[in-house]
Amino acid sequence: MASDPEGVEKLFLELSSESRLTILHELERNNLKTQEIATRVNLTATEAVRQLQRLVDSMLIHRNSDGSYAITEYGKTMMKLSISMDFVFKHKEYFTTHDLWRIPPQFISRIGELSETKLSMETMENMDRGQRVLSEAEEFAWMVGEGHIPELMLPIMEEKVRRGLKLKILTLESLVVPNTQNVETRGLPLIPVVIVLTEKESFVCFRFIEGRVDYAGFFGKDGKFHDWVRDLFLYYWEKGSRYPTPRPE
């Protein structure tokens, strides 16, 4: 089927209106009648009718037999996709200088799952945050970076490992070491992102466009964000090389 650029342009036009977006957000929660929508969106009844008709014509909502309006399945899909656009737009300065496309496209298509995160641009603060997240881990800690655990953190993490913490470290191939009890290490030729992930919190940083590692990134405890970081880690973990097994003499 041929694409319809004019149709896509019209769709973006409908979604570019703050009033229409607000109506769609309200209808995601509940079916509403015209006056209810006018009150919630702070529109006159006449303007509410006009905006609702535009959304009906775009097939984003439909009118029920009782006079209420409901979002369509198509409308729900577009709203889910718009979360990713909203997130990238909100952090456009960051994504102007950082290379999101180093990660697989299937994770970029899910970038809206980071919408409940916070962006921190302070390198030292973020390094401290990463150490704090590790120090608070009780069940597991997964890391991606161009090195191992910071020296100051070693005694803390060694004690946690002795108590049963499961530690996975994905680092450069040249730094891979043999696995020990509760500690697994794998290597990649290039580290695409920096990740700290525990059962409590997640943290991810993307590289600069020119390739340098950066410690400015997104952190949070939201479930969707946690799943996104976990899935990204496991994607690279499966590709990571293990420490070579010595050949028998």
Equal fold, 5-80 vs 91-239: no
CA–CA distance, 54 with 239 (Å, rounded to integer): 48
CATH of 5-80, one of 3.30.465.10, 3.60.15.10, 1.20.120.420, 1.10.10.10: 1.10.10.10
Q: What is the pLDDT of residues 6-56, one digit of tens each?
A: 566 777 777 778 889 899 999 999 999 999 999 999 999 999 999 999 999
**pLDDT for the residue numbered 1:** 43
Q: Determine the 3-state secondary structure of 202 from DSSP.
A: strand
- Do residues 141 and 156 touch, judged by C-beta distance below 8 A? no
Q: What is the pLDDT of residues 47-83, one digit of tens each?
A: 999 999 999 998 999 999 999 999 999 999 888 888 8
* Domain assignments of the chain as residue spans, ordered by start: 5-80, 91-239
Q: What is the pLDDT of residues 116-164, one digit of tens each?
A: 999 999 988 888 888 889 889 999 999 999 987 777 788 888 899 999 9
Residue 58 per-residue DSSP state: T
Which residue carries 């704090």 as its tokens?
132
Cα-Cα end-to-end distance for the chain: 63
Superfamily of domain 91-239: Endonuclease Chain A (3.30.870.10)
Specify the amino acid at residue 120. S
**pLDDT for the residue numbered 5:** 47
